[in-house]
Chain A
Amino acid sequence: MPLPSTAAPRRCHRTVVLGIVAGVLLSGCSSFGYRPVQPYEREALASPLMALSRDPISDKHLQHVFETREGARGATGNTGGGCGCN
């Protein structure tokens, strides 16, 4: 009689863990007793100091500087063509 494979339970376990982690990340832990942040609790988040990009034109220029001098690109929210580096 063949021994039961351990690969399938391990795969299942990994999938369960990944599913829970994805759920926690996407839900802000709402399904684990975490209370979502209410609109009246967002005073700090509305501050200019918390903006992901407070000055878009300034950030775009700096991203352009990095993109023309580094091999990596992407995932910065910046699109547009041209190089200025020939």
Chain B
Amino acid sequence: MMNTPRTAAFRNRCQRLLETAISRASVWAPMLLVLVPSQRAAAAALPEERGDTLFHIYDGGGQTVLGPAVLVRKNFAEKFSLSAGYYVDEISGASIDVVTNASPYHEERREAGVGGQYLYRDTLLGFNYTNSIENDFKASTFDFSISQDFFNNTTTLSLGYSKGNDKITRVDSPEFSATANRANYSVSVTQVINPTLLGTLSYELSADDGYLQNPYRSARVLGAALPEIYPGTRTGQAFATKLVKSWSSRFSTRIEGRYYRDTWGIKAFNVGIGASWYVYRNWILDGGYRFYSQKAATFYSDNFQRPQNFLARDKELATYQDHTVNAKLTVPLITQKHGFLNHVDAGVSFEYLLLDYKNFTDLRNGKPYSFGAAIGQFFLTAYY
């Protein structure tokens, strides 16, 4: 066969196309491989049928918050799962903001929610609606999620969207009313890495607009109290990861971390470690430590030296760190089937939270503010 200029050009063109295809394939092939399951995946599963009751108490920083919570879940026809929850916060006392700005108060927050999930092969569709009511704050949130299992149930990809609407009022000013809108988009991948190691990666984008501040709180400008002024929008991004490792049939450890930043200039991260083990028969003891560090919002100041467009002195927007230690004991109360009950667990947990603010002054003594809070939980869980 003759090697004419035309066939040589054709051959060169083919070679270039092949090189381009190989170059692109080296990028996409690994990703394509993961999109084509090697085997038929086993069926995903609905959440476990259970009823949880909880009594919680928080005591710290001059505030006490306590109340009950209930969450029940029932599955139907191996395809549908319905859940309902109720949660109460009874809040009393006087936080540092209230001590320096207003009088102590008592209020109650009641949150009710319903949810449903539908299982179709390896896909789980879910929705939740929650409604929260306080005497000066109402919030409703709807969220939708979809999860898909891949690769013989070793990989789970989840996508989520939630939309919330808040209505903010003041107890001392009936004419005041404001609203805020919240939207969240999330994606997470949970991976079975090996027979004893599980990992998850999550990303969440939050976009809020409207009245995003507390109507009672004041900022300080040259020592004088002025109403806070926040921007009308806030967009945040959070990246989180968690690894859980089993070391034996009776002992596991976990490590987790999260990085967060937003358009208000807040940059924060938290890391945590924990361990769980069967200390006696089926008694489970959990223990852990969590560290959180935050850089202040750009419009936060303990005491502004001149007025500006946005003013904030909310300690949650300051520069600070916190440490949390926790311990939880879960004890099986009923281990054999009784009527419709499969088994019942009781538990108690204790957490101690220590917050240390770098640029938020306690106006009572002029020193940087810090406080500790004790958090207790008592819970009973029935599996049926």
Contacts and interface: CB of A to CB of B under 8 A. Distances in A.
B246 A50 contact: yes
Given A19-B26, A61-B56, A82 B109 contact: yes
Given A36-B38, A45-B246, A86-B137, A65 B238 contact: no
Contacts of B251: 49
Interface string A45-75: 1011110101111101110011011111111
B294 to A, nearest CB: 5
6 contacts: A19-B29, A36-B38, A45-B192, A81-B141, A81-B164, A83-B139
B204 A74 contact: yes
Interface string A14-55: 011001101111111011000011110111110111101011
A83 B200 CA distance: 28
Interface stretch (B2-10, B218-226, B302-310, B349-357): B349-357
Interface residues of A, number: 56
A74 B269 CA distance: 12
Interface string B127-157: 0101111101101110100000001111100
Contacts of A56: 52, 71
Given A55-B379, A79-B128, 7 more contacts: A52-B198, A57-B71, A58-B52, A58-B349, A62-B351, A82-B134, A86-B216
A75 B203 contact: yes
Contacts, number: 238
B238 A42 contact: no
A73 B375 contact: no
A71 B300 CA distance: 12
Interface residues of B, number: 112
Nearest to B216: A86
B228 interface: no
Which secondary structure dominates where chain B touches chain A? strand
Interface stretch (B117-125, B276-284, B333-341, B360-368): B276-284
A84 interface: yes
A71 B297 contact: yes
B353 A65 contact: yes
A40 B294 CA distance: 44
B184 interface: yes
Contact of A25 (B130, B137, B191): B191
B236 A74 contact: yes
A81 B155 CA distance: 30
Contact of B198 (A19, A23, A50, A71): A50
A5 interface: no
B132 A81 contact: yes
B270 A72 contact: yes
B34 A31 contact: yes
A41 B236 CA distance: 39
B81 interface: no
B33 A50 contact: no
A62 to B, nearest CB: 7
A16 B27 CA distance: 5
